[in-house]
């Protein structure tokens, strides 16, 4: 996972709402986004955990766009995750990205 540090808590973020495996809505704050290989990725943190300096971020991949909805999924492939995490790390200004190697 990527770790979010610094003073990102003072910034305002767009949010996305996702449904977890139990059918519950979970709100995530979008920290950043990148494009890689024609795909769009979001670096997000669960909104209610934004105040925690050691909060783990999640990388989501855009998988489909309908008229009003966008569908995202977790990036679970290690090579894809590392590639995208490196892109986030390169453009990071308000956060630090560390990956578990």
Flag whether 66 is in a domain: yes
Flag whether 99 is in a domain: no
Query: Quick check: pTM over 0.75?
Result: yes
- Whether 7 shows a pLDDT value over 60: the answer reads no
Split into its structural domains, the chain has a count of 1
Flag whether 97 is in a domain: no
Flag whether 53 is in a domain: yes
Flag whether 42 is in a domain: yes
The percent of residues in the chain predicted with pLDDT above 70, rounded, is: 79
When pLDDT is averaged across residues 5-21 and rounded to a whole number, the result is 69
Long-range contacts, 83-88 (Cβ 8 Å, 24+): 83/36, 84/34, 84/36, 84/41, 84/59, 85/2, 85/59, 87/34, 87/36, 87/41, 88/2, 88/32, 88/34, 88/41, 88/43, 88/59
Digit-coded pLDDT (tens) for 65-86 = 887 788 899 999 999 999 999 8
Q: What is the residue range of 57's domain?
A: 2-91
pLDDT value for 77: 94
């Amino acid at each position: 996972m990527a770790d979010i540090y610094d003073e990102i808590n003072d910034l305002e973020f767009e949010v996305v709402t996702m449904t977890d495996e139990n059918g519950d809505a979970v709100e995530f704050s979008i920290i950043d986004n990148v494009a890689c290989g024609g795909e769009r990725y979001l670096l997000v943190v669960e909104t209610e955990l934004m105040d925690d300096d050691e909060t783990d971020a999640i990388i989501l991949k855009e998988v489909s766009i309908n008229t009003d909805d966008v569908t995202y999924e977790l990036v679970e492939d290690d090579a894809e995750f590392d590639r995208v995490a490196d892109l986030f790390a390169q453009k990071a200004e308000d956060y630090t990205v560390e990956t578990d190697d």
